[in-house]
Amino acid sequence: MKMFELIKDQIKDIKKIVFVTGAGISQESGVPTFRGKDGLWRNYDVMKLATIDAFYDNPKLVWEWYNERRNNVFGVKPNLGHKAIAELEKYANVMVLTQNIDGLHQKAGSTEVLELHGSIVKIKCSVCDFKDQMTAEFSEIPPLCKCGNILRPDVVWFGESLPQDVWQKAMIVAGQCDLMIIAGTSLVVSPANTLPIYAKQNNAILIEINPENTDMSSEMDLVIRNTSAIALPEFVSMFKEN
Ligand code: APR
């Protein structure tokens, strides 16, 4: 049986589709995930590096980690999963709510992307309101703001709040969709992992695409145990046939 056979008949009624994505969707592009076997960098636990405490402890080290990740991201391409989501805009109203900071959805051509955890190409001051886009690497790290304080990556670390305007929009679109596809995320990080609940309250169909089980797998209407670069093109092909 084809992967999405169970929902094939419902496709024609689906108008608004929301994707919730995480590190797994970029795995087939060569971007490491956070948990599982990928969760180390130079023998540091990445869960501990992605914190404000780690940054204040050793800002140079955290900057080195982000510089390396940024260089990696610049060298990789969106995969068939990202591309399928972008292509789906031809057939439905599509919104992407991503925890990824790699920009690969936008590179693939998706036009409606909310970056819940910030972006690897953005920076902000750790004290004042200054925000900017990174155009070139800094000659010295940690770089300093005009105000004299340390600049940091404009990303969300453990224990920090999401950008409020982005999160507000994410909750609204999640609560209005007919179908939510959750791809490549372990759904262990809050509040992003509450988005399926908003969709469920709207009686949306929930589909998970992940080779592994997650804590929310049992809440899904359909679970596809496959990788996103394999499953998503097949999902989109159903819209082309209709
Ligand atoms: N296709 C689909 N899913 C995959 C693939 C793949 N090719 N490879 C791995 N996965 C799945 C894994 O099984 C796992 O469930 O992707 C998920 C990746 O989980 P995490 O590494 O926990 O990434 P994510 O859910 O994005 O983490 C959330 O945690 O560290 C923070 O801020 C960081 O945004 C990140 C957040």
For ligand 1, say whether the CB of 33 is within 6 Å of any of its atoms.
Answer: yes
The pLDDT tens digits of the residues spanning 55-109 come to: 999 999 999 999 999 999 999 999 999 999 999 999 999 999 999 999 999 999 9
* Known catalytic membership, residue 117: yes
- Model's pTM, two decimal places? 0.97
pLDDT given at position 42:
86
158: which 2 tokens?
Answer: 């453990």
Under 8 Å between Cβ of 198 and 170: no
Rounded distance, CA 88 to CA 21, Å? Answer: 15
| Ligand 1 pocket member 24 (CB < 6 A) | yes
Residue nearest atom 13 of ligand 1, based on CA coordinates: 212
| Residue 204 to residue 61: CA distance in whole angstroms | 43
3-state secondary structure of 208: strand
Report the alpha-carbon distance of residue 211 to residue 171 in Å, rounded: 26
Pocket test for ligand 1, best of 21, 26, 27, 214 (most atoms within 8 A of CB): 27
Based on its alpha-carbon atoms, the radius of gyration of the chain, rounded to whole angstroms, reads 18
Q: Name the DSSP letter for residue 102.
A: S
Which residue lies with its CA nearest to atom 1 of ligand 1? 227
Q: What is the mean pLDDT of each run of 10 residues along the chain (242 residues)?
A: 87 94 97 85 89 96 96 96 98 98 98 98 98 93 97 96 97 98 97 98 98 97 97 94 75
Cα-to-centroid distance, 90 and ligand 1 (Å): 27
